[in-house]
């Protein structure tokens, strides 16, 4: 019996035409029995399924389906319709990979038996491309909606087919409303520069459809009828196989407002700069200048300044602006007003904020003005608040246009700048007065000290002897401290790292020595370390470590460990947690130092210092009956009594029982109980007069411990007390920020100027680390300066930015000194924010032409000389170009100087676009400009000059409904290594410029 497979094979062998058709087919062809048996296939089928090296495919087609349910769906459709077209499914290849295939199946007969003839095509690449297309369209839609500029999509006729959210916000139409509009609906009938909007846009649309890209200055119209000055960019795009016009609309109104604000900022800066130079002027002159500047900067006609008393109830007039008095005919102008009696102009005080009234006549709450008062049309005033109190009220009026928040800002900043100058002047005057007063006090004190000098000479020899003894003791103490320092430096530091996730500790050899571990015995486990920590310290250590990991940063503390032999050791550790990009802790790294010997030595030194501390000055010993047992020589000499006067006598009898019970007895009893007592007070001595003593009460036991005494040591700290009082006075009144900090960067003491300047209270500053308040860009250099300071350097005038409580930043100038003995840092900090701003603005104004923004004459020559020096040193090429506007006087005479200024600005903008980034361009004077062309040969320089001339001749300046065109003449000269100076090269270029003028203008003349 012949099988179906053999029958199909014989058919192909006998029918050459059938075989060639199947073999040459571009698709895979498979003949399949109804039960799924593969009867025949072509070469393309073997290639598609990856069976090139095998003569046949799998026996049954079911083996190739990824989802057998797809086979059932295909058979159902085949049974119903008799054929299946473009059925998509996933099929398994010989390599184990799946392909997406499109299958066409029809039913046929072979020797009277039904068979399925299937063509299979691999569409994996097509499906992937379709998916990429969907993602691309989705990405375009997301970018379209997220764009900050308004974007409109138009068809070829200019009808809107889409708009993003920014367009909805700009024009006020909903997306649905946009679809009913054309671009012409969003424009006025005529553009300001001239021309019908519809005709201009149709012309631009035609050019874009031909492949061009267009960018236009355009006036659009919003839904509410308001006009918008815009920049529109037109570009042809293809979206979902449809050609559309993408119109990007950029609103220029904000840019125009920024330019106007910058101009006002420049005027205000000039006024503040002038105010900062009025240190020697009177306060009235400062106020008068600021008032006139306020009128000018707000473009007002009138202005005034009133001062407020401390409880903010009475206004006192300083002055009206100069322009007011000739217009005012009020019989008698009051010097002051009660705030409660003021009308609208007093609302700024009652509300504690600026007020604006742009329709004074129509305001229903006005109280009116007295007869003869200057007519008021518009009014604005601002209260100046200093340290929570309104100190003055500044107002302006009768601006031609409405007052805005920008006017409030300019007037407020001007008044604040003026007040800073006033406060600085008052502070300087106060300091000068304080200095003279302090100098007189010093003279008086010097006289008193001179009178006491004779008495001090009497005991000078004894002081010298005791001073020698003290120096000898200090030498011994320094020797001991030196030995202690050498012993400390000799100690090694152990380094460790803890892998938190793996729970593994990595120790270096020194760590193992510190913990007395054999190098081969330490297993690196966390428990191996914690088991050796002293039990009372274990919880503290683990808590500190976990807190560091949770909160970030580092820790630095001491704990105890137990050696294998039972000895307890003190360990100082410092560690830092390391985190990954997601904020998860990776590891903790740190160091250990065995400080046991250091701690023991410090304890011995402390005992030694206590002994030394009671020896130099007034020392006495009191027994349990409050009787003197011993007094030293200094004690005897200070009181002018023999030793027998004290020894054996009761302390209460000598100083009086009332004074004894009130003070001395309580402190002596506390000292007998083991509590050391200290007090400071003024004392009257027969021999040396009134002195300020620091008195210490401390228990001293006899050698056998049977008897107890109290040692009373009094140290003369009069000079220190007086100096401290003087220092504290200066500390409190200084306008500079004075502080004392420890070596860890924590504030210990601050004067009130800190809170006045930065807003932080003393308690808030003491709770913060100094580095936390420094600007991120200044931290690295600030840390380096601190390292230099602690290494012995004296820091003067170091500047960084410090954070204020309100979130702003202030520039601070520091002068610092470190005291290594007390581990304290003394610093004087001064707020130099205003100076920094003035210097930055001065630098900018010193190098920039204020009208056009180009380099000014001085800056251009400085840059040109630098390039000439570089050219002579390293070679290259250099050309200089002089440029002058042709018939510029006609423009000024015809349109006015304000339009001439606009032409100059547009010239600079256009020239910058035409020049290369390496070229130097500047305004030399009037309508004359110059450019230094760096790099390139004479030919390229001539090309650049010609490009500048052509760009300027094509430039159109639109202003007040007019279009202004102009030309320029250019002179170009080559600079050689023999050229002695830029000035000489400029003369050569100037000659070429005038040749261009004489030969007809609007051309480039070169001698290159």
Rounded Cα distance between 354 and 348, Å, is: 5
Nearest Cα to Cα of residue 9 among 40, 35, 42 = 40
Residue 927 annotated in active site: yes
Nearest Cα to Cα of residue 39 among 116, 102, 94 = 116
Token pair for 272: 């503040």
H helices within 300-343, ranges in order?
none
Q: What is the dihedral of CA 922, 925, 929, 931, to 10 degrees?
A: -40
Rounded Cα distance between 371 and 328, Å, is: 9
Rounded Cα distance between 788 and 792, Å, is: 7
Look-up of token digits 């380094």: 495
Look-up of token digits 């050569």: 988
**Strand 968-974 to 1004-1006 pairing:** parallel
CB atoms near residue 343 (< 10 Å)? 13
Q: What is the DSSP letter of 375?
A: P
Among 23, 521, 927, 983, which one carries the catalytic annotation? 927
Nearest Cα to Cα of residue 318 among 338, 301, 331, 304 = 304
CB atoms near residue 282 (< 10 Å)? 10
Residue 338 CA from chain centroid, whole number: 45
Inter-residue contact 752 to 733 (CB < 8 Å) = no
User: Which runs of E-coded beta strand occur in 430-514?
Assistant: 493-499, 504-507
Partnered with residue 819 across adjacent β-strands are 824
Kindly give the interhelix angle for 460-490 and 596-613, rounded to the nearest 10 degrees: 180
Partnered with residue 92 across adjacent β-strands are 98
The CA-CA-CA angle for residues 610, 611, 613, to 5°, reads 65
Rounded Cα distance between 558 and 602, Å, is: 15
Nearest Cα to Cα of residue 589 among 600, 579, 597, 599 = 579
The CA-CA-CA angle for residues 533, 538, 542, to 5°, reads 115
Half-sphere exposure of residue 790, counting CA atoms within 13 Å on the CB side?
12
Rounded Cα distance between 245 and 157, Å, is: 10
Burial state string for 612-621 with b = 16 or more CB within 10 A and e = fewer than 16: eebebbbbbb
Residue-by-residue DSSP string for 642-681: -GGGTBTSBHHHHH-HHHIIIIIHHHHHHHHTT--EEEEE
Sheet (strand 628-631) strand order: 628-631, 618-622, 708-716, 689-701, 677-685
Residue 316 CA from chain centroid, whole number: 42
Look-up of token digits 């005034």: 304
Instruction: List Cβ neighbours of 389 (8 Å cut-off, separation of 6 or more).
Output: 308, 310, 312
Half-sphere exposure of residue 199, counting CA atoms within 13 Å on the CB side?
6
Partnered with residue 880 across adjacent β-strands are 932, 973
Token pair for 660: 């004894």
Q: What share of the chain is helix, strand, coil (3-state, %, to 5)?
A: 45, 30, 25
Rounded Cα distance between 824 and 353, Å, is: 44
The CA-CA-CA angle for residues 331, 332, 334, to 5°, reads 150
Inter-residue contact 687 to 638 (CB < 8 Å) = yes
Please identify every residue annotated as catalytic: 927
């Amino acid at each position: 019996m012949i099988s179906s497979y053999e029958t199909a094979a014989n058919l192909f062998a006998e029918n050459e035409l059938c075989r060639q058709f199947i073999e040459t087919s571009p698709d895979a062809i498979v003949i399949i029995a109804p039960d799924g048996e593969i009867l025949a296939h072509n070469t393309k089928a073997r290639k598609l399924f990856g069976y090139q090296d095998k003569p046949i495919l799998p026996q049954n087609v079911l083996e190739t389906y990824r989802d057998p349910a797809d086979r059932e769906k295909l058979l159902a459709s085949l049974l119903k319709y008799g054929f299946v077209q473009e059925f998509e499914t996933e099929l398994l290849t010989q390599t184990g990979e799946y392909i997406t295939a499109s299958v066409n199946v029809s039913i046929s007969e072979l020797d009277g038996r039904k068979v399925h003839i299937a063509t299979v095509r691999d569409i994996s690449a097509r499906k992937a491309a379709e998916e990429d297309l969907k993602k691309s369209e989705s990405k375009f839609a997301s970018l379209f909606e997220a764009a900050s500029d308004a974007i409109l999509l138009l068809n070829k006729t200019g009808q809107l087919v889409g708009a993003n959210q920014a367009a909805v916000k700009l024009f006020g139409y909903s997306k649905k409303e946009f679809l009913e509009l054309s671009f012409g609906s969003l424009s006025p009938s005529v553009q300001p520069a001239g021309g019908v909007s519809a005709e201009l846009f149709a012309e631009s649309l035609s050019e874009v459809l031909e492949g061009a890209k267009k960018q236009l200055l355009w006036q659009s119209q919003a839904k509410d009828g308001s006009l918008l000055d815009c920049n529109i960019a037109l570009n042809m795009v293809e979206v979902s196989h449809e050609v559309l016009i993408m119109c990007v609309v950029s609103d220029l109104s904000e840019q125009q407002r920024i330019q106007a604000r910058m101009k006002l900022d420049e005027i205000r800066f000039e006024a503040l700069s002038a105010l900062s130079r009025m240190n020697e002027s009177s306060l009235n002159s400062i106020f008068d200048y600021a008032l006139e500047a306020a009128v000018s900067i707000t473009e007002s006609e009138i202005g005034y300044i009133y001062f407020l008393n401390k409880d903010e109830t009475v206004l006192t007039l300083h002055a009206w602006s100069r322009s007011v008095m000739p217009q005012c005919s009020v019989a008698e102008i009051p010097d002051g007003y009660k705030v409660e009696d003021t009308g609208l102009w007093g609302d700024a005080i009652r509300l504690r904020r600026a007020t604006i009234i742009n329709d004074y006549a129509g305001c229903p709450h006005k109280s009116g003005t007295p007869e003869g008062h200057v007519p008021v049309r518009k009014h604005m005033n601002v209260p100046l608040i200093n340290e929570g109190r309104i100190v003055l009220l500044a107002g302006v009026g009768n601006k031609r246009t409405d007052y805005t928040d920008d006017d409030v800002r300019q007037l407020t900043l001007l008044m604040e700048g003026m007040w800073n100058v006033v406060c600085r002047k008052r502070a300087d005057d106060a300091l000068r007065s304080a200095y003279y007063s302090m100098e007189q006090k010093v003279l008086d004190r010097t006289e008193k000290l001179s009178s006491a000098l004779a008495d001090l000479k009497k005991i000078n020899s004894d002081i010298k002897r005791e001073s020698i003894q003290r120096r000898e003791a200090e030498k011994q103490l320094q020797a001991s401290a030196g030995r202690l320092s050498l012993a400390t430096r000799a100690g090694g530091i152990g380094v460790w790292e803890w892998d938190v996730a793996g729970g593994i500790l990595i120790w270096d050899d020194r760590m193992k020595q510190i913990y007395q571990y054999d190098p081969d015995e330490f297993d690196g486990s966390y428990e191996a370390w914690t088991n050796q920590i002293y039990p009372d310290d274990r919880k503290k250590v683990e808590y500190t470590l976990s807190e560091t990991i949770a909160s970030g940063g580092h820790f630095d503390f001491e704990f105890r460990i137990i050696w294998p032999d039972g000895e307890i050791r003190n360990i100082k550790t410092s560690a830092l947690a390391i985190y990954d990009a997601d904020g998860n802790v990776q590891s903790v790294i740190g160091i250990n130092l065995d400080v046991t010997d250091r701690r023991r030595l410090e304890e011995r030194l402390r005992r030694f210092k206590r002994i030394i501390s009671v020896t130099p000055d007034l020392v006495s010993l009191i027994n349990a009956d409050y009787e003197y047992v011993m007094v030293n020589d200094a004690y005897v000499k200070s009181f002018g009594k023999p030793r027998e006067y004290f020894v054996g006598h009761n302390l209460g009898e000598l100083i009086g029982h009332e004074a004894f019970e009130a003070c001395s007895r309580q402190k002596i009893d506390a000292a007998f109980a083991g509590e050391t007592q200290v007090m400071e007070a003024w004392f009257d001595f027969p021999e040396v007069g009134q002195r300020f003593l620091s008195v210490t009460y401390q228990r001293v036991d006899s050698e056998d411990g049977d008897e107890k005494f109290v040692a009373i040591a009094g140290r003369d700290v009069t000079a220190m007390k007086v100096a401290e009082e003087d220092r504290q006075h200066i500390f409190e009144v200084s306008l500079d920020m004075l502080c004392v900090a420890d070596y860890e960067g924590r504030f210990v003491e601050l004067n009130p100027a800190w809170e006045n300047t930065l807003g932080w209270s003393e308690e808030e500053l003491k709770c913060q680390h100094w580095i936390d308040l420094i600007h991120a860009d200044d931290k690295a250099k600030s840390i380096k300066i601190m390292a230099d300071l602690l290494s012995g350097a004296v820091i003067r005038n170091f500047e960084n930015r410090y954070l204020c409580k309100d979130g702003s930043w202030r520039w601070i100038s520091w002068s610092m000194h470190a005291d290594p003995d007390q581990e304290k840092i003394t610093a004087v900090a001064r707020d130099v924010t205003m100076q920094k701003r003035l210097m930055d603005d001065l630098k900018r104004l010193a190098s920039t032409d204020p009208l056009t923004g180009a380099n000014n004459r001085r800056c251009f020559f400085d840059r040109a000389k630098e390039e000439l020096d570089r050219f002579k040193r390293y070679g290259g090429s250099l050309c200089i170009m002089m440029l002058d506007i042709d018939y510029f006087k006609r423009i000024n005479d015809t349109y006015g100087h304000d339009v001439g200024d606009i032409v100059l600005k547009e010239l600079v903008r256009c020239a910058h676009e035409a020049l290369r980034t390496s070229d130097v361009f500047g305004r030399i004077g009037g309508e004359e400009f110059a450019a230094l062309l760096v790099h390139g040969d004479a030919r390229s320089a001539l090309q650049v000059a010609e490009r500048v001339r052509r760009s300027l001749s094509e430039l159109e300046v639109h202003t007040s409904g007019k279009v202004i065109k102009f030309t320029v003449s250019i002179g170009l000269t080559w600079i050689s290594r023999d050229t002695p100076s830029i000035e000489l090269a400029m003369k050569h270029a100037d000659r070429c410029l005038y040749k261009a003028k004489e030969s007809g203008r609007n051309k480039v003349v070169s001698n290159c």
